Structure 1
Amino acid sequence: MTAENQTGAALSVVVAGGGTAGHIEPAMAVADALHRIDPTIRVTALGTARGLETTIVPDRGHDLRLIPPVPLPRKVGTDLFTVPTRLVSSVRSAATVLREVRADVVIGFGGYVSLPAYLAARAHLRGGRRIPVVIHEANASAGIANKVGARFADRVLAAVAGSGLEARGSVDVVGIPVRGSLAALDRAATRSQARNYFGLSAEAPTLLVFGGSQGARTLNESVAGAAEALGTAGIGVLHAHGPKNTVSPDSPAGAPPYVAVGYLNRMDLAYAAADLVICRAGAMTVAEVSASGLPAVYVPLPHGNGEQRLNARPVVEAGGGLLIDDAELTTDWVAENVPALLADRSALQRMSTAAAAFGHRDAATAVARAAIEVAEGHRPDGRRPRGRSR
């Protein structure tokens, strides 16, 4: 089935989710899902020159268009007073992109790329009609861009209930879109290949450790410091410490390999290789780990607004993981608790089942289909599109 716009041509979809991987990865997962549904759909990613999208989007084979960034200052200062001027410039640039690609719908994922896209779509007319907007909120607490956009969006979807967008209209809870390689991952069937890929023991219980794309000092120090205890317990480790960091694990002779890498470019194989993960609790991390059915020890960032704790709480309450404060994750905690966790196979299986049940493997498809429905239902005669009421 081919999705067509009002002129009979294939649909043109713009995804806006630049800046951090937490915004970019869901956007790319939905872009991939759109092409799985209909390979003729034109997908354009909107980003800025300062975000990770300059690498991630081209690597995933999608068209990237850049606009000026408009980060919103957290404190009152001179930067705050320049926001209106910079926002106008960014909205104009976004409108130019929408016009050039003949956009039929904008899908936004929050962050400083999305707000200009939402405003440009609202103001831009194509064939006498505005460009509809679909929003996806990944975090447990919505950001400013999505709070603004949700006021006039045609459809709003979220990872979890209670994100703060409900007061602006109906919100469909669909989970967080994850890349297709994770949505279809069979950890058990892929384990042998995954462990061979990383040079891990084929048989030893294996701990995966990562703290996001840049690593996390608390995780690095506490786990590497417990290398002797982990090795003595016969536990293998796959540890992504971040490209700018190093770790020096002192494993005992004869212990399963402790593999330390700067960055994991095959997260699907990393999840398949592991029996347990120690990680931060960013929205994307929680989504990928739970969709993979991997038992987890979530260690939220100790600063910020507590968002990471909120992200992890639902899957933890469902039995899919543990929630540990950053200050509590010490070398002694790892040495005392991780071997016991990995030795209890029945408990790990219960956690895995609970995590998989909480995960949403079809979220990317749900967002993609919602966008197609909104685009096709947005009639040029001014009648309301199907879905969210304005």
Structure 2
Amino acid sequence: MKYLITGGGTGGHIYPALAIAKEIKRKDKNAEILYVGTEKGLESELVPKEGFQFRTIRVKGMPRKINKESLIAIKELIHGINDAKKIIKDFRPNVVIGTGGYVCGPVVYMAKKKKIPALIHEQNAFPGITNKILSRYVDKVAVTFDEAKKYFKYPDRVLNTGNPIRKEILEINKEEAYKVLDIDKNIPFVLSFGGSGGQKTLNDAMYYFIKESMGKGDIQIIHVTGKRFYDEFIDRLKKDNINLNKNIRVFPYLYQIPEAINIATLVVTSSGAITLAEISAVGVPSILIPKSYTAENHQEFNARAFENKGASILVLEKDIKENTLNDIIYSVIQDKERLAQMASKSKKLGKIDASERIVELINTIVK
């Protein structure tokens, strides 16, 4: 069978698409998979590395206001529809799967014009504009949050499958993780990171928390700044004569995030869909600081969904003061009963078989 998968722009759209592609291949080694993205998008780097056939179309994001860029975007959209039409004609897929981003628009729309079964996956609690439009045409809509259902015109087509995650997050040997990261299992361990690119507000808040925690032996901290913020963060520590030690470490990037999540007492992070899927798959309590500048402010909607279920504490960027995190973190890690309750509720939100659920849903729409 032939599967055409499309999704791009950010890792939040690309990684779920790749997880679905891998699950399709796991279940059907003879499956033919074509991934359609854009030439300049992150998908053009990630997809070929995973060994999947990759083709591109021309498309640009539509500005919120009508201006010169709007005309360019409309012109590119017309090109994109023609590109998608040609790719679909050449590949002749049995089904098309979209995971969000502007690239999905022309591809999924054209598939439905050709009467090809199609499914989209929405990662966030507040759907992106492309998926909201496409939901009117596709056969099924897979979502990660129940809160997203009300934004789609045809709720009978919507099913909560969860968000696909990398399998290694579930295969971590915790005893080995403690050794690899040099973490003492008897002392609370706080892991903080602002998504793959870092987050300035979270960095500022964690700076003060680290400053206040120096010299204390009752806490362990690993803070990941993001590569673009690392030098500035370290220079700031040096300026204030703060010398990090074994218990408090700062990194620009951490390849052992799966290990760290699995053994963390508490995670302080932004609220991207992939991060939330991973911490809930493991069942980790969290403090969420949604990035206020994301499209449609979707991270705040994600964070509120977790807060409403009792899995997380939500702190908005605008509400963060110098000592905001100090008080919250210490109040949580010193309350073992509260930690246990948050961990349990986090685990209940996790869907470790999201990829399998989505592939099963795909099979139901293919005649």
Aligned partner of 2:221 among 234, 237, 252: 237
Q: State whether structure 2 residue 289 is matched by structure 1 residue 289.
A: no
Q: Is 1:67–1:94's contact at 8 Å kept on the other side of the alignment?
A: yes
Greater percentage in helix: 2
Is the aligned partner of 1:176 residue 2:163? Answer: yes
Q: Distance in 1 between matches of 2:124 and 2:92?
A: 30
Aligned residue for 1:215, secondary structure, equals coil
Aligned to 1:20: 10
Aligned pair 1:94/2:84, yes or no? yes
Distance (whole Å) between structure 2 residues aligned to residue 168 and residue 357 of structure 1: 27
Find out whether 1:321 has 2:312 as its counterpart.
Answer: yes
Deviations 1:114-146 (A, max 9, x none): 10111221234xxxxx32111111222222211
Write the deviation string for residues 299-339 of structure 1: whole angstroms up to 9, x where unpaired.
11234543222112222222111011113334412222323
Of residues 111, 119, 133, the one that matches 1:134 is 119
Structure 2 CA distance for aligned equivalents of residues 300 and 148 of structure 1: 25
How far has the Cα of 1:284 moved from its partner?
A: 2.3
Correspondence for 2:101: 111
Partners of 1:94 and 1:254 in 2: CA distance = 53
In the TM superposition, residue 77 of structure 1 has moved relative to its aligned partner by 0.3
Q: Distance in 2 between matches of 1:185 and 1:296?
A: 21
SS, match of residue 121 in structure 1: helix
**Structure-1 residue corresponding to 2:339:** 348
Residues 1:216 and 2:199 are matched in the alignment? yes
The question of 1:192 aligning with 2:175 is answered yes
Amino acid at match of 1:347: R
CA distance in 2, matches of 1:154, 1:365: 18
Q: TM-score, normalised by structure 1?
A: 0.84
Establish whether residue 334 from structure 1 lines up as the match of residue 349 from structure 2.
no
What is the one-letter code of the residue matched to 1:176?
N
- 1:162, CA displacement in angstroms? 4.1
State the number of aligned residues.
357
- Using the TM superposition, give the Cα deviation of residue 153 of structure 1 relative to its aligned residue in structure 2, in angstroms: 0.6
**Cα distance in 1 between the residues matched to 2:243 and 2:228:** 28
1:157 aligns with 2:142: yes
Aligned equivalent of 2:152, options 146, 166, 178: 166
Q: Could you say which residue in structure 1 is the equivalent of 2:265?
A: 275
1:206 pairs with 2:189: yes
Letter aligned with residue 28 of structure 1: L
Does the 8 Å CA contact 2:121/2:142 hold for their aligned counterparts?
A: yes
Task: Give the aligned CA root-mean-square deviation in angstroms.
Answer: 2.3
**What is the distance in 1 between the residues matched to 2:31 and 2:360?**
12
Unaligned runs of 5+ in 2: none
Match of 2:47 in 1: 57
Report the Cα distance in structure 2 between the residues aligned to 1:48 and 1:177, rounded to whole angstroms: 22
45, 70, 75: which one aligns with 1:80: 70
Equivalent residues of 2:195, 2:270 under 8 A apart = yes
Aligned match of 1:4: none
Q: Which amino acid aligns with 1:314?
A: A
